[in-house]
Amino acid sequence: MRRRVSGVDLVLVMMVLIWGINYPAIKIALRDFYPMSFNLPRFILASLFILFLLKVTEKRVPLRRRDWLPILGLAVLGHTLYQLLFIYGIYHTSVSNASVIMAVTPIFVALLSSFSRYERVKLWTWVGIFLSFFGIYLIVKVNSGGWKLRGLSYKGDFLIMGCSVCWSLYTVIAKPLLKRYSPLRLTAVSMALGTLFLIPFSFRELWQQDWHKIAPISWLALVYSFSLAIAIGYTIWYIGVARLGATRTSVYSNLVPVAAIFFAWLFLAERLTLEQLLGAAMVLVGVYLTRIRDRELPSPR
C-alpha cells in the first residue's frame, strides 16, 4: 500500500526550495560579510522573528522542568555546534566533499531512530536513503572528479561529519518533545538559546567587519536567510518530524543540494551537466521510495 502525497510533503518540498535558494543567497552575501558577522545577525533576527510569530499565533505553554535539558541539547547541537562546524568545515575542505558527507545525515537519523526505538525503519526507507545518497555523489563529483580524502582536507571533512551527526541528533532528540510542544514553540526556544551561545564565537569578525561596504543585495540575502531559510525553514522541519517521523523527513534534506545546484545555475551561471541531472533524478526516486508503506517486518526475538 502506498502513501498519498500529503500536505506535509508539499510543505517539505517548499522547505527544500527555500533552502536551495539560500545557498546562492549566502554565497552572494559572503562577498561582503565575514562568515560569523553574517551568521550571528541572521540568527539573532531569526530568533526575534520566530519569537514574534509564536507570540501572535499561540497561547503561552510553559515548558516542563524535565524538558529544559533536552531543549538545551537541541539548542547547542542544532544551532550552535552545527553552525560552527559547518562554517569552519567548509573553510578546510571542498564544497563537494562537504555535500557528500552531509548527504549521510538521513543514514545517521535512521540509525539513531532505530537504536532509540523512536521509529521502525523499513526496507524501502533504507533503499531510498542509499539511492538518494548515491545520487548526491553523482551530483557533486562533477566539479571535483569524485570524493577524495587527501591532503589537509581531512580536517574539514571530519568537522562536516561532526556537523552531520549534530543535525541527526538534533532531529531525533526533537521527536519526543514534539508530542508536548508545537514545532513553532520548540524551534523558537531552542533557536533563541542556541543563538546566545554563538555570540562569544562571533566577536572578532563582528569587530573586523566593514559594515559601510556591504551592498544592498547582500543585505537582502541576509533578510531572506533569517526569515525564510532559518525561521520558517526550521519550523517546517519540525512539522515534518512531528507528522512523518525523523527518518522520512531527513531524506528530504537530500533534495536540497539538487535545488541548490539548479538555483546556482539560474542565479550564478554555474554549469549543469547530464550527470548532475541523473543524480538529481536518483535523489527524487530515493525520496519517493521512503514514502512507500511496506509490510511490517517481524521483530527480532
DSSP state of 230: I
The three grid cell numbers given for residue 219, joined into one nine-digit string:
543585505
Q: What backbone phi and psi angles, to 5 degrees, belong to 2? A: -105, 150
Are the C-beta atoms of 186 and 50 separated by less than 8 Å? Answer: no
Q: What is the mean pLDDT of the chain?
A: 77
Comparing C-alpha atoms, which of 2, 90, 20 is closest to residue 254?
A: 20
**pTM score, two decimals?**
0.72
* Residue 236 to residue 53: CA distance in whole angstroms: 14
Q: Where are the domains of the chain?
A: 13-57+66-289
Count of Cβ atoms closer than 10 Å to residue 149 Cβ: 11
Helices (H), 145-254: 153-177, 183-198, 203-208, 216-224, 233-244, 246-251
* Residue 162 to residue 47: CA distance in whole angstroms: 24
The C-alpha angle 94, 108, 17, rounded to 5 degrees, equals 60
Arithmetic mean of pLDDT, 199-205: 93
Instruction: Give the pLDDT confidence of 138-196 residue by residue, as tens digits.
Output: 665 655 444 454 444 567 777 877 888 888 888 888 888 888 888 888 888 999 999 99
